[in-house]
Structure 1
Amino acid sequence: MRTTPARHGAAAAALTLLAAAVCAAPAAAAPVPDAESAGAALAARRATTTGLGFGACPAAEDLPDPVRCATLRVPLDYARPDGTQITLTVSRVAAGRTGGAARQGALVHNPGGPGASGMYFPLLAGAPAWRRIAAAYDLIGYAPRGVGRSAPLSCQDPAARAGGPTQVPAHPSAADKERHRAAARAYARGCAERAGAALAHYTTLNNARDLHVLRAALGERRLTFAGASYGTYLGAVYATLYPGHVHRMVLDSAVNPDPARVWYRNNLDQAPGFERRWHDFRAWAARHHAAYGLGSTPAAVQASYERVRDAVARTPAGGSIGTGELHAAYLETAYRDEVWPERAAALAAFLRGDPEPLAGQAAPDPAAATETENATAVYTAVLCNDADWPGDWETWDRDHTELARTAPFETWSNAFLNLPCASWPVRARQRPVAVGGAAVTGGSPSARLPRTLIVAAERDGATPYAGALELQRRLGTEAALVTEKGAGTHGVFGGRNGCVDRHVERYLLTGDTAGWRVTCAPHPEPAPVSLDDRAARARGAVLPPVV
């Protein structure tokens, strides 16, 4: 599941591979390792010997001191460990720069996506929520295969995605749907043409194997890992494949790992979650009608939004903001309530005749076109490769038409994002891993998974809360769950909620959790701040408190 709003999504139908939980009684005999598992074991042994040579980061990474960078060679195809190799980029800030705690090892981070780069992660070492953790751990970021400079994947010319405006109807007609079907087929063909035979090797299973090799190259016998969104699924798959190589694991904003939901049904599950969060934003704006004038009820705020949408459908704001760009910008309200004040203010300004704030917030950034296209390509490839998807349009149309009756805000945009998977040109799809299952090929059925920590917001739209409960059930009695009640920001840990942050810090530093299930009160809602106020504060002005 994407953690970057403009690239969100998740999807795919699946099959089940049921097995006992990790913490259940050991299986009678270990399964025979398959070729990929044997290749990963060989690559990890080699990485233990070669290690990582950290040095100054290339200018392309735009990472300042004290961050250091390295590269890691891994097989493109783990069934052929001596075949084509690809290079992954890795970043690090060494432990101890923020305090005198005893070093506990390396903490590897995956920010989600799939398609997001974690190379920036070491920069968080000085942030308050990470300071004590960074004193004890090397903070390790990396770009997963296909991402950034790690054997980058592309499916189309980035310039094709950089332009605007785009017009996406709220209620697509049969002709609209057919246009999207044709575009999805063309996009899938572009992936195959640009990547060739390598396309099949962008999978969650290979991401987990890469993580196993990275752990070995870092000189760590066991992995300490923090994953957000899709990163929770990656972490859970790693824990299933390599339970004996897990030290500590924080899984923030959990994807539902049920093989029957990976990925198509997870996609369907998102729509009601996003609808709840869209309501949360509208209810907040209604409570602050005096500040924004968008309406005193959620329905009235919706009407204001629709007036703006109808207007940009006729005349794009700033020449580049159509309904597609508008929707992408306001989809972010479901991910982060920090953006609520500026999004509400932009709507208010537009309705007063000033389109500039909206254009500034929603306009595509040409400088980010290559990164955006790359992230979308990796996202699509991993999810399409990970599981079987419905290949018939009738299933997609029926399921999404039904969903859109009660959850229209995100349903069709997400369907069209994932639609290339219906005609994906890779025949041999992966079988979703039965997360928590002991009898997984290449795994260690006799190994018990150590204590893990799951963190979730109760009203998260991108990864609905039921996924956290399912992940805890599958990881067993050693998995603890910290819930932020009544909140929905996607990505809970990291400075937003002190209660959550204390639980995560305690776990990473000591291995202890406060209980099997713990709840924290929600973080405060944002105060209504006008765009003029925000600009003044950026200039350092002292303003009276907002009431």
Structure 2
Amino acid sequence: MAPRLSRSSVAVAALTGAIAALAFVAPSAGAMTLRPCVTQAGWNCGVLGVPLDHAGVVPGRLHIAVAAQPARAGRGTLIALSGGPGQSSVADADSWASTLEAALGRYRLVVLDQRGTGQSGVLRCSALQDLDGLQPVAPEVIAQCQQRIGPRRAFYRTLDSVEDIEALRVALGVRRIALAGISYGTWVAQEYARRYPQHVDRLILDSVVGPGEPDALLLDTFSRMPRVLREQCAGGRCRGATASPIADLAAVATRLRRGPLSGTRYDGSGRPRRVTLRSEDALFALLSSADLNPYMQARLPGALAAAAAGDPAALLRLVPIAAGEPIAAPSLSVALNITTGCLDTALPYALSSPLAGRTALVDRALAAVDPALYAPWSAAAVRASGYVDDCVLFPQVPTVAAPRRALPDVRALLLGGRLDMRTPVENARELAALLPRASIVTVAGTGHDTLDSDGTGCIQEALRRFVNALRVGDPCQGRTNQRRVAARPPVTIDAVPGSDLRLRVLRAVLATADEARQTALEAAYAGVPTRGGGLRGGRYVADDPYFGTLILRGYAYVPGVRISGRLRVLAGEDVQGTVRVRGALTGTVRVSSRLRANGTLGGRQVRLTLGARSGADDAPAAAGAASLSRARR
């Protein structure tokens, strides 16, 4: 049953009549005074007044927060657009300047909080904002939030933000602007370029949304996820983790169709806690979230393989990482995210249609999709993950027919990470076919948001060449950001390679120290506290997971081997220090690196040096040849 609307159908009908024939008019030049920002040196801040309805039919005003670098002769204007939808930009102006540093010799940078975000009349709904990244979003809750927003909900489309950007261009007094967008920001930039081609200098698009209307079923992500997993494991990189990540994913997804997957994880005090992965669509959300966390992404093949074999501990341990910490609405408005998503997406039903008939249209749309496009997932997972369910009870709003124009023939730089799941690189190729002067640069071993996640420097080099009108070429050829794929966690000490128990325990100590380092980095990337439990028990805390100290207390990765001590983290990729060992054997071990250790176990001296090779084989717990030596007492 559809929820009771906060306004009568008469009010909805009146709004429909007012804007059904909407045609955009040129925005009036709003007054905007820029003054030095209070909290960000080197920036000028201001507020731009814009109409709620740029057609001028429905009254109301919005105030758009803007931050701009000082104008300088000879520099163009570059407007940066955040992702989401729902992310703010003004509070992150300095971060944007760092992200686009290679372009700022040629451009003055301007950022804005798009309508409904940040300081631009942020949309709030605590019932949505308080959900974590893996919790289901009930259509009834979305409908209730939309009722509180009221009829103004109709004016939070991307096309409304496009008109705000045009008003900003006019207020800045510039003839043309360059646009830089990341993720959803690439869609805003495309729509502006279609609407105002004469005012576009060039496009810088990272993690590209495809050129077609956003897909309500997220089939671009579902259909490309197997390719991403295969590429991550290509060249033997998953040896020691899995023989087939797709088969493992299929097995875990099938298991979740029978019901939730539960187990134990250990918290920051080393206490056991019940943790549950509730459904197949939650697994999809978990995998998708990993393309912003390279250490989590490196752990997934082994974690899926272990879960498929009946040991879900490593996968369940990722649940709080994927769920994330609460985010304040001014930083990312979930209400705006869903509102714009419903208004923009090509749904199988019109939002002007009666609510009662929408579910049947969703059923029909799903039935028409070839299951091979989303295998190994089920149709139910596709339905629960996309906008089709989110928007099924969205209050009726008028459908505005806005003809889509062709993209202009402007220079464009399209950037993508080859391990990006949410905006796969295939999207950039589809867009490039419509932009004759586009240059595509992809970087291996990299997920979402290459401008911020590429550590090789090749993406910044591509940007430098592009803004200086040089041939972009392929500066990322032969470069990669891929982390070592983590081995499948051993379920017993006997599963660890070694000719006798002492060598197996020593190898387990190295594996445990390296895994603890990766766990701390994984937490840091996720924005959660860098303290937590070991896979099999104990706890850790890291003051700085990149260059600081890692303290372990009974930390267990391999059953029967617990280590305690203080390790120094070297440049985020190695550890050194002395640890006490308890469990299958007792002793003290000096960890010289993730590949070397020596000490005393069970009253006898031991020494171990592992061969450094690429891929999962250089993970200390992985199977394969290694250089082993032992000094007898």
TM-score by length of 2: 0.61
Distance 2:425 2:194 in 1: 21
Mapping of 1:443-458 within 5 angstroms?
449-457=409-417
Deviation at 1:269, TM superposition (A): 2.7
Q: 1:76 corresponds to which residue?
A: 52
Q: Whose Rg is larger?
A: 2
Deviation at 1:36, TM superposition (A): 5.0
Would you tell me which structure has more helix in proportion to its own residues? 1
Q: 2:211 corresponds to which residue?
A: 257
After superposition, what is the alpha-carbon deviation per residue over 1:40-61, rounded to whole angstroms, capped at 9, x for unaligned? 431xx234xx34334214xxxx
- Counterpart check, 1:46 vs 2:21: no
**Which of 407, 414, 433 does residue 473 from structure 1 map onto?**
433
Q: 1:118 corresponds to which residue?
A: 89
Q: 2:15 corresponds to which residue?
A: none
**Which of 100, 120, 141 does residue 150 from structure 1 map onto?**
120
After superposition, what is the alpha-carbon deviation per residue over 1:435-479, rounded to whole angstroms, capped at 9, x for unaligned? 426xxxxxxxxxx7542322344564323444323323333x3x2
Deviation at 1:134, TM superposition (A): 3.3
Distance 2:419 2:134 in 1: 32
Distance 1:421 1:257 in 2: 22
Secondary structure at 2:433 match in 1:
helix
**Which of 360, 363, 367 does residue 398 from structure 1 map onto?**
367
Would you tell me which structure has more strand in proportion to its own residues? 2
Deviation at 1:80, TM superposition (A): 1.5
Q: 2:109 corresponds to which residue?
A: 139
Mapping of 1:18-417 within 5 angstroms?
37-38=24-25, 40-42=26-28, 45-47=29-31, 50-57=32-39, 65-66=41-42, 69-80=45-56, 83-94=59-70, 104-124=75-95, 127=98, 130-155=100-125, 157-158=127-128, 161-162=131-132, 183-184=138-139, 186-258=140-212, 262-264=213-215, 267-281=218-232, 283=233, 287-288=237-238, 290=240, 294-298=241-245, 302=249, 313-315=261-263, 317=265, 318-319=273-274, 321-323=276-278, 327-334=284-291, 337-341=294-298, 351=311, 357-358=317-318, 360-365=320-325, 367-368=326-327, 370=329, 375-386=333-344, 389-391=347-349, 392-399=361-368, 402=371, 406-408=375-377, 412=381, 415-417=384-386
- Counterpart check, 1:523 vs 2:480: yes
After superposition, what is the alpha-carbon deviation per residue over 1:152-184, rounded to whole angstroms, capped at 9, x for unaligned? 22456246625x985x8xxxxxxxxxxx8xx32
Distance 2:274 2:43 in 1: 40
Q: Is the 8 A contact 2:180 2:204 kept in 1?
A: yes
- Number of matched residues? 458
Distance 1:537 1:424 in 2: 45
Q: Is the 8 A contact 1:503 1:513 kept in 2?
A: no
Distance 2:250 2:413 in 1: 41
Distance 1:299 1:412 in 2: 16
**Which of 447, 468, 474 does residue 489 from structure 1 map onto?**
447
* 2:396 partner letter: V
Distance 2:345 2:546 in 1: 48
Structure 1 284/311 Cα, relative in aligned 2: closer, same or farther at 3 Å?
A: farther
After superposition, what is the alpha-carbon deviation per residue over 1:503-539, rounded to whole angstroms, capped at 9, x for unaligned? 222222x244447x99844524213574423446442
Structure 1 533/316 Cα, relative in aligned 2: closer, same or farther at 3 Å?
A: closer
If asked which structure has higher relative contact order (CA below 8 Å, sep 6+), I would say 1
Identity %: 22
Structure 1 70/343 Cα, relative in aligned 2: closer, same or farther at 3 Å?
A: farther
Q: Is the 8 A contact 2:237 2:484 kept in 1?
A: no
Secondary structure at 2:289 match in 1:
helix
Q: Return 5+ residue gaps in structure 2 as ranges.
A: 1-20, 266-272, 350-360, 487-513, 521-544, 550-567, 575-592, 596-611, 613-633
Structure 1 263/302 Cα, relative in aligned 2: closer, same or farther at 3 Å?
A: closer
Q: 2:556 corresponds to which residue?
A: none
* 2:377 partner letter: P
Structure 1 306/245 Cα, relative in aligned 2: closer, same or farther at 3 Å?
A: closer
* 2:46 partner letter: A
Structure 1 289/143 Cα, relative in aligned 2: closer, same or farther at 3 Å?
A: same
Secondary structure at 2:290 match in 1:
helix
* TM-align CA RMSD: 4.1
Structure 1 196/52 Cα, relative in aligned 2: closer, same or farther at 3 Å?
A: same
**Which of 448, 461, 466 does residue 421 from structure 2 map onto?**
461
Distance 1:119 1:276 in 2: 36
Distance 1:411 1:454 in 2: 33
Q: Return 5+ residue gaps in structure 1 as ranges.
A: 1-33, 58-63, 97-101, 169-179, 438-447
Distance 2:347 2:314 in 1: 44
Distance 2:346 2:238 in 1: 46
> Please, which moves more after superposition, 315-324 or 524-533?
315-324
Distance 2:121 2:372 in 1: 37
Distance 1:409 1:335 in 2: 25
